[in-house]
Amino acid sequence: MTLNAELSRRIYTDMWRIRLFEEEALRQTSLGSVKGTLHTYCGEEAIAVAVCAHLRDDDYVLGTHRSHGHCLAKGAPMDRMMAELFGRATGSCRAKGGSMHIADFSRNILGANGIVAGGIGPGTGTALASRIRKSDQVSVVFFGDGAAARGPFHEGLLFGSLWKLPVVYVCENNGYQQWVPRKNVAVVDSVADMAASYAIPGVSVDGQDLEAVYDAAGVAVERARRGEGPTLIEARTYRFYGHSLGDMEEYRSREEVDDWRENRDPIKLFSAWMKERQWLGDDEDEAIQAEVKVEVARSVAYAEESPLPEPEDVLTDVLDTEWRVSA
């Protein structure tokens, strides 16, 4: 499937949905309505939307601590996500997960994950389930460059390759492992090079270039669906905000951030790309943003109107207490 005007507009809208959802969530944090911390995806939007554009509803997605983008791109309802960030009973996880554990199993979004590389083993396991059931569902695991240092990354890729499982590993290399530049803690520059150790294709793309990510993901997803095994995609990207709330960002210069925001913003770049092809007019562009603003405002209203969890909810959802064994 190649990018056409209609698909591009849908993808472009999703990028704005992520951007404006998160900027509103940040604003709500300063107002005290959104609790806990937030790891924002702003600046990295092209990756989630370009990859998820290739997925079916029944394909699996597993994420990171920075997964609002993955959830929205895979179709999680924004209002329930906002309600989760507000800590409301109507939230995606009924106020038990919050930003770092947001999930929507009805759309096979099996969850953000607060453990770096935590989704890689399970995402390889959902692919194993596809294999055993002889289904052609594909699993996509998103993770950051920091995850490539952890054992579960290596073990997951080994299993995925060994059994040729239908999984796509997407490394969002934003250049910083929390507050430390990747070059200070890594011995190979490109995470994609690590694919060689597991005898799978490794592709490095510009994560700000939606078309590049879209094309690489298309090849990888189709390869997985055909039963030919995993691909490791590294998408080079940048986060516009700090690692999480309260990050003083002493490890990078204002100029560096401004340069990325000005010249490497995936939304600006894709907007220009579409306009070059006459796929997006200025009016349409404004209309899309206005529409998304309404959706975001509605999600805030939904969250504000939603009830807080009841104290007794703390004891539910530990185990399935309704279940009884029978011979």
Q: Are strands 231-236 and 167-173 parallel, antiparallel or unpaired?
A: parallel
Long-range contacts, stretch 84-88, CB < 8 angstroms, 24+ apart: 85/25, 85/28, 85/34, 85/35, 85/36, 85/38, 85/303, 86/28, 86/33, 86/34, 86/35, 86/303, 86/304, 86/306, 87/35, 87/36, 87/308, 87/309, 88/303, 88/306, 88/307, 88/308, 88/309
Closer by beta carbon to other proteins, 157 or else 300: 157
Structure tokens at 35: 């609790």
Kindly give the pairing relationship between strand 180-181 and strand 176-177: antiparallel
For other proteins, give the closer residue by CB, 162 or 290: 162
Dist. CA 40–CA 21, nearest whole Å = 10
Closest of 170, 219, 277, 230 to residue 54, by C-alpha: 219
Q: Cβ closer to other proteins: 278 or 326?
A: 326
Pairwise CA distance, residues 80 & 135, whole Å? 30
Spatial separation of the C-alpha atoms in residues 188 and 148, rounded to whole Å: 10
Q: Contact positions toward other proteins, by CB under 8 A? A: 60, 62, 91-97, 101, 103-106, 110-111, 113-115, 118, 120-130, 132-133, 139, 151-152, 155-156, 158-159, 162-163, 316-320, 323-327
Nearer to other proteins, 26 or 128 (CB): 128
CB nearer other proteins, residue 127 or residue 194: 127
CB of 63 to other proteins, least distance (A): 12
> Judged by CB, which is closer to other proteins: 199, or 294?
199
